[in-house]
Structures are given as C-alpha cells and as structure tokens.
C-alpha cells in the first residue's frame, strides 16, 4: 500500500464528502445569511478536496486526475470519516457535525504545518485559514442553539447524541499513520485527541450541552466500510461521470 | 400638508431627477415612486433568491470539481444579490420578512424564468448564458437608476452577473464542441430556455402601462422591447459562433433596421406562468416556504440567545 497516497486520500475525501453534504443546503438555509455561509464553507471544502485529490493522484503516479479520484472510485475506495457522510437532518445536526469535524480539522491542520512533506504543509497552511473561520462559525451556532430556546436546546442536544458515536473515528490511526510518522511526513499527533476534547468540552459546556458516552463507536470509514448514506451520495456525485463516461465538461 | 406644498415638493423632486441628482432614503419622494421601487426591488430580490433553486438543483451532480466550485460560487453570489436588494427595500421602509411573506403567499412576483425546470447539466450553461445575459441587459441601465441605494447595489451586482454570463457561455461552448450527446444536450437546453429568456424583458411596450411613469422617474431607462431587441442582437451571433440553432423559424437579420427580426412570443404562456401555472411555480414557492418554516426555530434561538447576552451585559 502507498501510505502517502492513502493518507492524502483520507484528508481529501473528508473535504469532498462534507462539502457535498453542505452544498445540499444551497437555497434552503434558515436565513439568507446562513445560505451564504454554508455555501461558502462548502466551496472551501470542495477547493480543499481538489488540492488534496490532485496531490493524491500525483503521489499515486497512475496518470489520474483529481476528478478521476473524486468521481470514479467505488464506495469501498472512499476513505472519509463516517461522520461527514451523515445526513443534514436539520440545521442543528448540520452545525453539530460541522463543529465536531472543524475542531478536529483545525487542530490537525495546525499540526500538519510541521509536516515533512512540503505539499501537505502547504495545503494545511491554506486550509487552516479557512478552517479557523469554519470552526468559529460552527462553534458560535452550537452555543447559540444550545443556549437559545428550549426547542433549539433539545434539537442540538439530540444532534450531539446522534453524532457522538462517530467522533472516536476522528482519532483512528493505523500503519498508514505509523509509517508516515516514522518517515517524518507526519508530525507527532499524539496530543490531537486531548486538544480536541478540551476545545469541544469547553464549547459544549458554554452551550449547556451534555455528552452521553456511547458503547459503540463507528470507525471503519478509513478502511472503506461506510454507512448506508455514502452510496446515495455517490449516486448523485458520480451521476454525470457514470452516465457520460470519458467526456470533457 | 397643503396641496400647494405637495405640488412644490413634487416639482423639486422631478427637477432633481431631471438633473440626474440621486434620490436618497431620507429625501422626500412621492408615495408612488416609493411603492413602485419597493415593488420592483423586492421582485428583483425574490428573483435572485428563487433563482438559486433551479441551479442549486445541479450542484451535487456537477460533472467535475471545477464546475461544482464555479456553480457553488455563482449560487452564493445570487444569495448575496438577494441580500443587498432586500437591504435596498429596507431603506424605503419595507420590512424584509414582510416582503418575503408576500412572495410566499403569491402576492409578490419574481422572474418567471425560474419556474422552468433544470433537466440536464446543459441547463446550467443555458441559464448562465441566457438568463444572466438577459439580467445584465435589464440591469446595466439600473446602475443609473434615480434611487441611490438601488443604483449602487446594481453596480456591484452587474459585475458578478457578467461573470455568471461568461461561465454559462463557457459551459455551452464546451458542450457544443463535445460529443454528439453533449451537443444535443446543449441544443435541447437552448430550445427550452430561449423563449422564456425573451419573456424576461416583460410584456410588449404597448401592454406595459407603467413604463412611461418609470421612465419619467428614471427608474427605467429603456423600454421592454428595446432591451429585448438588444438581447436578441447580442445573443444570436453567440449561438451561431458555437454552432447552436436558435429555435425561431422567423429569426433573420434585417439589413434595413440593423437588427434581427424575430417571431412572435407566446404571451399566453408568459401570463400563465406569471400567474402561477408554470411547470415549477409550486415547487419553487413550496421550497422557499419550507426553508422559512424549517428555519423558524433557528431564528428564534438566535434571537433568544442575543437577548440573553444583552441582559447579561446590562446587569
Ligand atoms: Fe444575481
Ligand atoms: Fe439579477
Ligand atoms: Fe447571476
């Protein structure tokens, strides 16, 4: 297995699939300002996916493009977190999903600035700026909804309860990470989970929300075992490329 | 106020307009000028927002990452346009939420082109090229509209619309130069959107009773038919350039007038769609209404949270 390819794919697929989910909101947001904000975040994520998948394709060295990777793999070849493929449900679920992911992504990108791989460090630097804004936006909404009305508290607590089982996977690590750590591509990521936990707890606390620990955590996305939702995402995402193979658009 | 005073105010108002001095929110203005503007600007704002739906329909199915990003950016721009325009109506004393309710209960109109479905990817090309293209024709003169906030909003909006028009034409060009399937897809989109695009300029001048007053107030600078002709003259050569056929058997260049002659518009269809009987009127309004209803708890929460913050600060 090409570990660098595998790692960059994981990063790229997270951006791609979450960007897809967020873009489903376009035109349906709770206020026009949020339509703009969510579309903007989706746009950033699609941009990140493009840079990351382009790099992954280079690393793979089989002459593929970012689009080939984005649109022409089968479900088992996608490496995204199960968290990011979860449905939008309502604005509360969407913001909670975003918050849990953004907090992880911001800390990860900060660490990846120190990557021994120049490309990864450069993509992390560019994406970090965007991700800081995404995290500010999602954190503020989690607090507002948690400490807003009774209804909003109930809904966002419900979102947290539903999504918490997907958070352990944020810290999934296997031989890919180990070998890249050994070769100096990855910096020391051992404090990622603690830093994430500290930040997330502080925000949830301010939002008056409670974490209910789970007995079952999902973490097979990185190996290509997904929830049932991914198949439907791919059916839409890949529709044009599958229906009209090999054409320029 | 005494009648002579009103007459005097109206005289001064028209004098400003005649001298191309902008009317600003605090200036005196005739009630009808205000009403006409609120109606026109809010219709425009609704068109931007409803217009997000037919294109939003293809974001998750865009054929590659670059097209997906460009389409997202475009639809985001349209939301931004909606926002500036709602703000412009607010400078005239209209309430944004009330204006939106008028859209939802059918009292306010929006551009009827958005009541047509987007069936294929080529429709993203046709909409950018034709619909944003027609919007530019309509809107460039509005940059000189007598009402300051509207004119200034239009300057910013028009810049973005011309980017939209170009990306749409680029999609069409790529398809027209593509495989036979792609070319057929492009031609089909042109066939479906051509006539509705011509209808975007509104009824013929003879059937447009408000035009004269709006032109006197410099809210409008050209008549519907003038703008429609300008659009046809600019767009037909573009279609020819990429090898697509405009679906009008009567279309031909007229040496004498220096314009294209074109066939009659189906005004029955236009009025049917304006009055709610187009293919997607119900879907569009239902989608906007649902967005508002589903978002209610979010807006309430934001207000409640802001209120809590204020009391905390005060105490
Ligand atoms: Fe627009
Ligand atoms: Fe417009
Ligand atoms: Fe536009």
Mutate to test the interface with B, among A30, A233, A243 (most CBs of B within 10 A): A30
- Opening angle at CA A89, ends A83 and A94, nearest 5: 55
The number of angstroms, rounded, from the C-alpha of B130 to the middle of its chain's C-alpha atoms is 12
The mean per-residue pLDDT over the stretch A46-72 comes to 98
- Measured in degrees and rounded to the nearest 5, phi and psi for residue B261 equal -90, 145
- Using a CB cutoff of 5 Å, list residues around ligand 1, an ion: B 48, 78, 81
Three-state secondary structure of A146-163: HCCCHHHHHHHHHHHHHH
- pLDDT average, residue stretch B191-210: 94
Contact at 8 Å (CB) between B157 and B81? yes
Average pLDDT of span B64-83: 97
pLDDT bucket at B314, cuts 50 / 70 / 90: confident
Q: Which residues contact A114 (CB under 8 A, 6 or more apart)?
A: A121, A187
Portion of chain B with pLDDT greater than 70, in percent: 99
Q: Which of residues 219-238 of A touch B (CB under 8 A)?
A: 236-237
Give which of B54, B68, B103, B186 to mutate to test A binding, by max A Cβ within 10 Å: B68
pLDDT band at B1 (very low <50, low <70, confident <90, very high): low
The stretch A152-178 carries a mean pLDDT of 97
- How far is residue B259 from each of residues A96, A103, B203, B226, measured CA to CA in Å? 57, 60, 20, 11
Q: Mean per-residue pLDDT for B143-156? A: 94
Give the model confidence (pLDDT) of A89-106 as tens digits.
Answer: 999 999 999 999 999 999
Is the pLDDT assigned to residue A1 strictly greater than 90?
no
Residue A72 in tokens: 């022409």
For the cut 60, the answer to whether the pLDDT of residue A109 exceeds it is yes
Contact check, Cβ <8 Å, B182/A244: yes
Q: What is the pLDDT of residues A199-213, one digit of tens each?
A: 999 999 999 999 998
Q: How far is the CA of B38 from the centre of ligand 3 (A)?
A: 21
**In this model, does residue A218 exceed pLDDT 90?**
no
Written as one string, the DSSP assignment of A12-52 is HHHHHHHHHHHHTTTT--SSHHHHHHHHHHHHHHHHHHHHH
- Across the interface, which of A32, A53, A155 has its CB nearest the CB of B297? A155
With pLDDT > 90 as the criterion, what percentage of chain B qualifies? 92
Residue B285, pLDDT above cutoff 70? yes
Q: Which of B65, B179, B291 sits opposite A49 (nearest CB)?
A: B65
Residue A129 has pLDDT above 80, yes or no: yes
Using the predicted structure, report yes or no on whether residue A215 has a pLDDT greater than 90. no
Q: What value does the mean pLDDT of chain B take? A: 95
Higher pLDDT, B209 or A167: A167
Q: Which ligand is the nearest neighbour of the Cα of B113?
A: 2
Looking at chain A, which residue has its C-alpha nearest residue B307? A148
Which chain B residue's Cα is nearest to A52?
B65
Smallest CA–CA distance, residue A191 to chain B, in Å, is: 33
**What are the boundaries of each domain within chain A?**
3-211+220-243
User: How does the average pLDDT of chain A come out, rounded?
Assistant: 97
B207's tokens: 């059937």
Compare CB distances from B61 to A35, A39, A236 and report the shortest one's residue.
A236
Contacts of A90 (CB under 8 A, 6+ apart): A155, A159, B294
Instruction: Answer yes or no: do A47 and B294 touch at CB < 8 A.
Output: no
C-beta atoms of A151 and B297 within 8 A = yes
Alpha helices by DSSP H, A189-228 = 192-206
pLDDT of res. A153: 98
Report whether CATH 2.40.440.10 matches the domain A3-211+220-243: no
Residue B87 contacts A, CB cutoff 8 Å: no
Residue B197 pLDDT exceeds 70: yes
Q: What's the token pair of residue A111?
A: 């660490």
**Dihedrals phi, psi of A28, to nearest 5 degrees:** -125, 15
Mutation for testing the A interface, residue in B84, B99, B185, B298 having most A CBs under 10 Å? B298
Residue with tokens 């419900």: A158
Residue A162 near residue A87 (C-beta atoms within 8 A)? no
Are the CB atoms for A171 and A218 separated by under 8 Å? no
Q: Which class for A229: exposed (0-12), middle (13-18), buried (19 or more C-beta within 10 A)?
A: middle
CA B85–ligand 3 middle distance (angstroms): 13
The span from the CA of B29 to the CA of A143, in Å, is 45
**Mean predicted confidence (pLDDT) in B201-221:** 90
- Minimum-distance CB partner of B64 among A24, A29, A249: A249
Residue B312 has what pLDDT? 87
Determine the residue among B80, B84, B302, B312 to mutate to test chain A binding: the one whose Cβ has the most chain A Cβ atoms within 10 Å. B302
Ligand 1 mean position, distance from CA A169 (Å): 41
Band of pLDDT at residue B2, cut at 50, 70 and 90: low
pLDDT tens-digit series, residues B101-130? 999 998 899 999 999 999 999 999 999 999
Q: Do B300 and A149 touch (CB under 8 A)?
A: yes
Name the residue among B60, B178, B287 with its Cβ closest to that of A23: B60
Q: Which of residues 38-57 of B touch A (CB under 8 A)?
A: 49, 52-53, 56
The pLDDT, as a whole number, for residue B208 is: 87
Report phi then psi at A77, rounded to 5: -90, -5
**Cα–Cα distance, B204 to B215 (Å, whole number):** 15
pTM value?
0.96
Ordered DSSP codes for chain B = --HHHHHHHHHHHHHHHHTTPPB-TTS---HHHHHHHHHHHHHHHHHHHHTHHHHHTTGGG-SSHHHHHHHHHHHHHHHHHHHHHHHHHHTTT--HHHHHHHHHTTSS---GGGGS---STHHHHHIIIIIIHHHHHHHGGGGG-SBHHHHHHHHHHHHHHHHHHHHHHHHHHHHHTS-HHHHHHHHHHHHHHHHHHHHTT-S-GGG-TTHHHHHHTTS--S-HHHHHHHHHHHHHHHHHHTT---S-TT-EEETTTTEEE-PPP-HHHHHHIIIIISTTHHHHHHHHHHHHHHTHHHHHHHHHHHHHHHHHHH-
Contact between B37 and B147 (Cβ < 8 Å)? yes
């Amino acid at each position: 297995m090409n570990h660098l390819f595998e790692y960059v794919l994981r990063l790229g697929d997270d951006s791609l699939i979450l960007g897809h989910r967020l873009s489903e909101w376009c035109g349906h947001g709770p206020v026009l300002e949020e339509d703009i904000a969510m579309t903007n975040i989706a746009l950033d994520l699609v941009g990140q996916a493009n840079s990351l998948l382009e790099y992954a394709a280079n690393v793979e060295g089989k002459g593929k493009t970012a689009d080939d990777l984005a649109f022409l793999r089968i479900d088992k070849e996608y490496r995204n977190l199960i968290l990011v493929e979860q449905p939008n449900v309502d604005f509360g679920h969407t913001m909670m999903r975003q918050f849990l992911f953004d907090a992880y992504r911001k800390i990860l990108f900060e660490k990846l600035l120190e990557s021994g791989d120049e490309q990864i460090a450069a993509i992390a630097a560019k994406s970090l700026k965007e991700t800081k804004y995404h995290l500010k936006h999602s954190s503020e909404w989690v607090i507002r909804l948690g400490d807003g009305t009774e209804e909003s508290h109930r809904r966002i607590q419900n979102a947290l309860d539903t999504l918490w089982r997907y958070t352990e996977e944020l810290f999934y690590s296997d031989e890919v990470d180990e070998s890249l750590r050994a070769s100096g591509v990855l910096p020391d990521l051992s404090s990622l989970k603690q830093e994430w936990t500290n930040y997330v707890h502080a925000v949830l606390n301010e939002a008056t929300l409670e974490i209910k620990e789970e007995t079952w955590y999902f973490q097979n996305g990185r190996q290509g075992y997904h929830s049932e939702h991914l198949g439907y995402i791919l059916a839409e995402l890949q529709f044009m490329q599958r229906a009209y193979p090999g054409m320029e658009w | 106020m005494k009648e002579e005073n009103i007459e005097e105010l109206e005289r001064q108002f028209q004098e400003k307009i005649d001298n191309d001095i902008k009317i600003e929110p605090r200036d005196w203005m005739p009630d009808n000028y205000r009403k006409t503007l609120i109606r026109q600007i809010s219709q425009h704002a609704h068109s931007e927002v409803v217009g997000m739906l037919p294109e939003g329909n293809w974001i998750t199915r865009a054929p590659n990452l670059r097209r997906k990003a460009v389409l997202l950016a475009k639809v985001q721009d349209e939301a931004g346009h909606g926002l500036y325009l709602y703000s412009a109506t607010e400078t005239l004393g209209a309430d944004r939420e009330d204006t939106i309710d008028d859209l939802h209960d059918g009292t306010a109109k929006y551009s009827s082109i958005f009541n047509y479905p987007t069936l294929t990817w080529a429709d993203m090309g046709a909409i950018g090229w034709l619909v944003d293209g027609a919007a530019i024709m309509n809107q460039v003169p509005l940059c000189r509209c007598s009402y300051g906030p509207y004119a200034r909003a239009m300057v910013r909006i028009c810049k973005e619309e011309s980017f939209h028009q170009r990306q749409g034409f680029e999609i069409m060009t790529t398809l027209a130069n593509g495989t036979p399937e792609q070319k057929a897809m492009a031609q089909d989109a042109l066939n479906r959107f051509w006539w509705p695009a011509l209808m975007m300029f509104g009824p013929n001048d003879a059937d447009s009773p408000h035009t004269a007053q709006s032109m006197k107030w410099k809210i409008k600078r050209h008549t519907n038919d003038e703008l429609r002709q300008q659009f046809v003259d600019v767009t037909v050569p573009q279609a020819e350039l990429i090898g697509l056929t405009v679906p009008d058997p009567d279309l031909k260049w007229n040496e004498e007038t220096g314009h294209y002659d074109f066939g009659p518009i189906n005004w029955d269809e236009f009025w049917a769609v304006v009055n709610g009987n187009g293919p997607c009127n119900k879907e569009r309004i239902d989608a906007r209404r649902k967005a508002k209803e589903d978002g209610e708890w979010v807006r309430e929460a934001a207000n409640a949270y802001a209120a809590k913050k204020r009391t905390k600060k005060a105490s």
